[in-house]
Amino acid sequence: MSTAALVLAAGRGERLGAGLPKALVSLAGVPLVVRAVEAIAAVPEIERVVPVVPPGELARFAALLSGVAGAHKLAPPVEGGRERQDSVRAGLASLADDTAWVAVHDAARALVRGADVSRVIAAARRHGAALLAVPLRDTMKRVRDGRVLETPPRAECWAAQTPQVFAARLLREALAKADAEGFLATDDAQLVERLGAPVAVVEGEVGNLKITTPEDLAAAEVLLRARGERAA
């Protein structure tokens, strides 16, 4: 049963303000996309890694990724789209028909740990779909027009991360339904939830943060140093 990973790197990254695609921003001297692809390719259960890159950037990303660790698992980059969901659709369309399992990962989560990826893959194989998430430490408020609508019980609130792993046919079906209904999701599990299918939650690590702002980049550098991992 083959397992493939889409590494989504097609975001514009405006909040990082670096003036280049976010995935190319350096974290301690190594671009986020390189870190993310290497982390995912190192996972033994994953056989194929497909980078999904900004439109018009195929050549630049292909050159950058040609020398990564685990390059033998790497497929040629695929062009993503305007919305994250467009990028997922493009990546999925590129996968071989016999792909049984798909892990979708944000390149912006460049610090993901291989052991966590393996745990979420195992959960997906048991339940059909699974995601990494962490329990929230803050109390959540649903807010509209500057007013609180409701306060969901904190014990039930988790922050969704990636990878999120799915039976390939389930994700394809979920995406087709969302597209037909014009529904745009901010993560992929949401699409599968809309089918009424169960999604298992695997507790991950706060360190698997989505690097979105300059402050996140600084926090990621501190985390890397604390882990004693490679810096430039």
User: In terms of DSSP H, where are the helices of 70-199?
Assistant: 84-93, 114-127, 168-181, 189-193
Quote the least distance from Cβ 157 to ligand C5P, whole Å. 18
Q: Does 133 bind ligand C5P (CB under 6 A)?
A: no
Helix axes 168-181, 84-93, angle to 10 degrees: 130
Instruction: By CB under 6 A, name the one of 45, 47, 83, 193 that touches ligand C5P.
Output: 83
Q: Using CB positions, name the residue nearest to ligand C5P.
A: 11
- Cβ-based nearer residue to ligand C5P, 11 or 31: 11
Look up residue 149 and give its two tokens: 């609508």
Q: Counting Cβ atoms within 10 Å, is residue 205 exposed (0-12), middle (13-18) or buried (19+)?
A: middle
Instruction: Name which position in 108, 132, 199, 217 contacts ligand C5P (CB under 6 A).
Output: 108
Binding window for ligand C5P (CB under 6 A); candidates: 39-47, 81-89, 175-183, 191-199: 81-89
Query: Are 129 and 189 contacting, i.e. CB atoms less than 8 angstroms apart?
Result: yes
Strand runs labelled E in 22-95: 26-27, 30-31, 48-53, 78-79
Q: Which two tokens stand for residue 3?
A: 């397992």
> Which residue of 42, 60, 81, 193 would you call a contact of ligand C5P, by CB under 6 A?
81
What are 157's two structure tokens?
């609130």
Beta-carbon contacts of residue 71 (< 8 Å; ≥ 6 apart): 41, 65
- Which of 16, 34, 52, 175 touches ligand C5P by CB under 6 A? 52
Q: Binding-site residue total for ligand C5P (CB under 6 A)?
A: 17
User: Least Å distance between CB 126 and ligand C5P?
Assistant: 26
The interface with ligand C5P within residues 10-49 (CB under 6 A) comprises 10-11, 22-23
Name the site residues for ligand C5P (rule: CB under 6 A).
8-11, 22-23, 52, 80-84, 86-87, 106-108
